[in-house]
Every structure is written in C-alpha cells, then in structure tokens.
Amino acid sequence: MVNFELIRATLVGGLSAYIGMPVIESDTAANMPSYPYMTYNFITNGISSGLPGMTISDGPDDEVIEQYSDEQSMMVSFSSYALRKADSIQNAMRAAEWLNIIGYDELKTKANLIVVDVGDIHNRDVQIGDEWERRNGFDAELRTVNALEMKQDRIKKANLQRG
C-alpha cells in the first residue's frame, strides 16, 4: 500500500527546510502565514499505469505469499507567494531546484518516491481588491510503487474428476 502520509510529510518537511519558509496545503480553512510561503496541492493521486504484476513466493508453514505491485503516479502543484514578484519567482525556482536535485534523493530514500518531471514555472498572480498577490508556481509529477501481499493456504490435495 502507498504510504501517503509518509510521502506528504517527507515532501513538505524537506522542501520547507530547504527553502526556509512554511509550506502549507492549499485550499484549506487554516490561517495563512505571513509572506513569503509556499503551498502544495495533490491534484491527482494513485493513477496506475497498468495492471499490477504478481509474484509468488513460499511463506512460513504451508502458506504461499502472493505479492502484487504496480506503479502509481501523482501530480502535485506548488505555488510560491510573496509581496514582490522577484521573491515569488526566486522561491519557486528554489523549490523546483530542491525537487530536481536534493529532494530527488531524499524522497527516493525516505518515501520510495521518484520525481519524474518538474514542470515550467508559470505566473499565477491574483488581484485581490486593489492589491496584487504575487504567485509563481509549477506542477511536479511523482511516482511510487504500490505493493501489497496476500497470504494464501497451499493446496495440499485436490480431487479431480473426469467428464
């Protein structure tokens, strides 16, 4: 099974430590921190690329272990918020840098997660009343392995009948 909480905690904790600012989930009722900060949003989760593969191995006693696994992708959207446009762009660039280099190894080691693609950084500014909230962001595709095991009893005797 995919450990989503481990993935989320590793992603958010590592990114926040690297860029030195809060990284919070977007579209929540929580109070927003002061600028600058980053948001993340899991856009898609658990998209399988095909049918799971299966392997069989001997288990303890008379059990057989069926192991099923498949690759699952997820898309995460990141947005950088700041008072100045230049700060928003710089922070988005640092976040993308973390995912591509430092975070790549950290996510692979700690959460069994691979960074497949980090998209281009785009302007996401929003006008709120007379003010502009400076936002820049990108989407990242991540992939992990979903694996589960089922224990089955070994068939010791079978009655076969003809016709």
pLDDT in tens, 80-119: 999 999 999 999 999 999 999 999 999 999 999 999 999 9
Q: What is the mean pLDDT of residues 44-69?
A: 78
> Does residue 38 surpass a pLDDT of 90?
yes
Confidence class for position 127, pLDDT limits 50, 70, 90? confident
- Domain membership flag for residue 117: yes
CATH of the domain at 120: 3.30.2000.10
Cα separation, 32 vs 17, in Å, equals 18
> Does residue 148 surpass a pLDDT of 80?
no
Between 62 and 38, residue with greater pLDDT: 38
Question: For residue 137, what pLDDT is reported?
Answer: 96
Question: For residue 51, what pLDDT is reported?
Answer: 75
- Domain membership flag for residue 163: no
Between 130 and 95, residue with greater pLDDT: 95
Question: For residue 11, what pLDDT is reported?
Answer: 96
Averaged confidence pLDDT in the chain? 89
Q: Is 118 exposed, middle or buried (0-12, 13-18, 19+ CB in 10 A)?
A: buried
Joined tokens for residue 127: 């006008």
Question: For residue 93, what pLDDT is reported?
Answer: 98
Cα separation, 42 vs 88, in Å, equals 20
CB 44 within 8 A of CB 139: no
Cα separation, 133 vs 94, in Å, equals 19
- Domain membership flag for residue 73: yes
pLDDT single digits (tens) 19-33: 999 999 998 877 888
- Domain membership flag for residue 142: yes
Cα separation, 18 vs 58, in Å, equals 44
3-state class percentages of the chain: helix first, strand second, coil last, to nearest 5: 25, 45, 30
- Domain membership flag for residue 147: yes
CB 11 within 8 A of CB 41: no
Residue 71: domain span: 4-153
